[in-house]
Amino acid sequence: MDDLSTNLADAEPTLDKFFKTLPTKLDRIGRIGSYGSWLNFYVCSIEGRIPLPEGYMGDLGVKPIAGRCR
C-alpha cells in the first residue's frame, strides 16, 4: 500500500489537472455521442508495467500501426 500512496503523491500535479479537466471533457464527449450518434475511439498506444513474482517490472505496450496513429 505504501507504493500506491507514494506514486499517487508523486503524481499529484498530473492528477489535479486530470480531475479539473475531466468534467469538461466528459460533457463534450457526451454531447458528441448522444441522440444515436456514433462515436469511435481509437487507442494508438498503450504502455505499462506488470510486477512479476521475481520482482522484475516487465515492460509491455502496443505500438501504433494504423495510419491514423502516425
pLDDT > 60? residue 28: yes
The per-residue pLDDT for 17 is 92
Average pLDDT in the 27-51 region?
72
Q: How many domains does the chain have?
A: 1
Q: Binning pLDDT at 50, 70 and 90, where does residue 65 land?
A: low
**Whole-angstrom distance, CA of residue 21 vs CA of residue 33:** 19
More confident residue, 17 or 38: 17
pLDDT > 70? residue 10: yes
The b-or-e profile of 25-44 (16+ CB within 10 A means b, else e) is eeeeeeeeeeeeeeeeeeee
By residue range, what is the domain housing residue 42? Answer: 2-69
Q: Binning pLDDT at 50, 70 and 90, where does residue 36 land?
A: low
